[in-house]
């Protein structure tokens, strides 16, 4: 069986892939979900190793990637910086070039997770992944960096389509800032805006003054909406933005000032907590078109969203969490399997 045309391709951000390619991933993920334990996909990575390199801990990401490798017949190996001798600005050790070249001799793919609190300046996590991609001979998969989270974006689309239908075009996504005690990075939110604007959704981005996102990303989102004939709107009203939404994605994110004077998570948390009106609740959801609620998890219940909505019948959080497994399997198969 010939290799996939995507064999060896990195997945660092969904905007690095064409919409047609993303549709192929989603179609394959759907097949893999329907035939999860059949023999059809069980040997695509037989006896192959996928390296998982975690600067930041995780529940769903580690579990879903390990399960993905196992269900494709392979093995996922866990690594973290504290167990490796890596060069940094403050210590001697192995360079990214050397580490990437050596790992490429051992495995068929490398996943890296590095979030906002493991870098000194915004964007350095994404730069690290792209530096690994420069030197690696095998695909680099982004398991969430400080800018993007491609597998979450794919899982979001898959979950929405399973409930809304395949046609997301013309539907309205409310990307809503929820107050909270986590000072989250921009990665999941920015990935959502990028991929859903390419899928033809109308975008309403709502946040309090002082919580804007990456200007380059927002410029891309605006361009995507213009190309698709959909709308893009920024709102600073925590209530009226809900009107006519089909999907509500309420998640906290840090301010653009988070790295000023050095990243201080507690400072960001204290800054966000007073905005108690910025929460997704039943009263606001009544203004929508019977909207579904989505979130990448973990959910900061009582801050980003009430329990009534997060656990309600219109919540897709568990479907989307499961879909992380299936979209990851699809990308791993397409980029790493010799037997596609």
Report DSSP letters for 165-232, one per residue: -S--TT-EEEEEE---SS---SHHHHHHHHHHHHTT-EEEEE--TT----HHHHHHHHHHHHHHT--E
CA separation for the pair 186, 188 (Å, rounded): 6
Spatial contact of 203 and 175, defined as CB atoms under 8 Å apart: yes
Spatial contact of 156 and 196, defined as CB atoms under 8 Å apart: yes
Selection from 192, 294, 210 nearest residue 247 by Cα: 294
Alpha-carbon distance values, 98 to 137, 145, 182, 307 (Å): 12, 21, 35, 48
Residue 83, burial from CB neighbour count under 10 angstroms (0-12, 13-18, 19+): exposed
The rounded radius of gyration (Å) of the Cα atoms in the chain is 20
**Kind and range of the H or E run holding 152:** helix 150-164
Predicted local confidence at residue 33, as pLDDT: 98
Interacting residues of 177 by C-beta distance below 8 A, sequence separation 6+: 206, 207, 208, 211, 250, 251, 252, 253, 278
Full pLDDT tens readout for the chain, 340 residues: 578 999 999 999 999 999 999 999 999 999 999 999 999 999 999 999 999 999 999 989 999 999 999 999 999 999 998 877 776 766 677 999 999 999 999 999 999 999 999 999 999 999 999 999 999 999 999 999 999 999 999 999 999 999 998 789 999 999 999 999 999 999 999 999 999 999 999 999 999 999 999 999 999 999 999 999 999 999 999 999 999 999 999 999 999 999 999 999 999 999 999 999 999 999 999 999 999 999 999 999 999 999 999 999 999 999 999 999 999 999 999 999 998 7
CA separation for the pair 194, 129 (Å, rounded): 19
255, two tokens: 């301010």
For the four alpha carbons of 14, 19, 20 and 23, in that order, the dihedral sign comes to: positive
Output the furthest CA–CA distance in the chain (Å, rounded).
58
61, two tokens: 């990401």
Domains of the chain, CATH where assigned: 14-148+321-336 (3.40.50.1370), 152-316 (3.40.50.1370)
CA separation for the pair 77, 69 (Å, rounded): 10
Q: In the 8-state DSSP scheme, what is residue 3?
A: P
Can you give the pTM of this predicted structure?
Answer: 0.97
* Residue whose tokens read 């990637």: 65
**Kind and range of the H or E run holding 53:** strand 49-54
């Amino acid at each position: 069986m010939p290799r996939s045309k995507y064999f060896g391709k990195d997945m660092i951000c969904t905007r690095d892939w064409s919409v047609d390619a993303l549709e192929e991933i989603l179609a394959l993920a759907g097949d893999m979900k329907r035939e999860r334990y059949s023999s059809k996909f069980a040997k695509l990575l037989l006896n192959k190793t996928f390296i998982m390199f975690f600067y930041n801990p995780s529940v769903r990401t580690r579990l879903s990637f390990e399960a993905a490798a196992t269900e494709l017949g392979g093995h996922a190996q866990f690594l973290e910086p504290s167990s490796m001798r890596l060069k940094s600005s403050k210590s001697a050790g192995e360079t990214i070039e050397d580490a990437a070249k050596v790992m490429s001799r051992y495995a068929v793919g490398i996943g890296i997770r590095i979030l906002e609190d493991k870098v000194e300046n915004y964007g350095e996590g994404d730069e690290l992944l792209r530096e690994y991609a420069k030197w690696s001979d095998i695909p680099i998969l982004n398991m969430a960096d400080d800018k993007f989270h491609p597998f979450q974006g794919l899982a979001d689309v898959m979950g929405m389509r399973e409930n809304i239908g395949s046609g997301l075009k013309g539907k309205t996504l409310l990307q809503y800032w929820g107050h909270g005690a986590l000072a989250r990075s921009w990665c999941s939110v920015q990935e959502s805006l990028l991929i859903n604007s390419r899928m033809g959704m109308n975008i309403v981005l709502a946040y309090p003054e002082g919580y804007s996102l990456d200007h380059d990303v927002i410029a891309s989102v605006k361009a995507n909406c213009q190309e698709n004939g959909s709308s893009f709107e920024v709102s600073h009203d925590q209530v009226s933005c809900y009107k006519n939404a089909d999907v509500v994605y309420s998640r906290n994110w840090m301010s653009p000032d988070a790295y000023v004077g050095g990243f201080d998570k507690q400072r960001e948390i204290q800054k966000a907590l007073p905005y108690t009106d910025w929460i997704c609740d039943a009263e606001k959801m009544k203004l929508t078109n019977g909207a579904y609620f989505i979130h990448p998890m973990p959910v900061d219940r009582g801050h980003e969203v009430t329990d009534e909505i997060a656990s309600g019948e219109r919540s897709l959080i568990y479907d989307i969490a499961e879909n992380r497994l299936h979209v990851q399997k699809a990308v791993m198969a397409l980029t790493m399997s010799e037997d596609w």
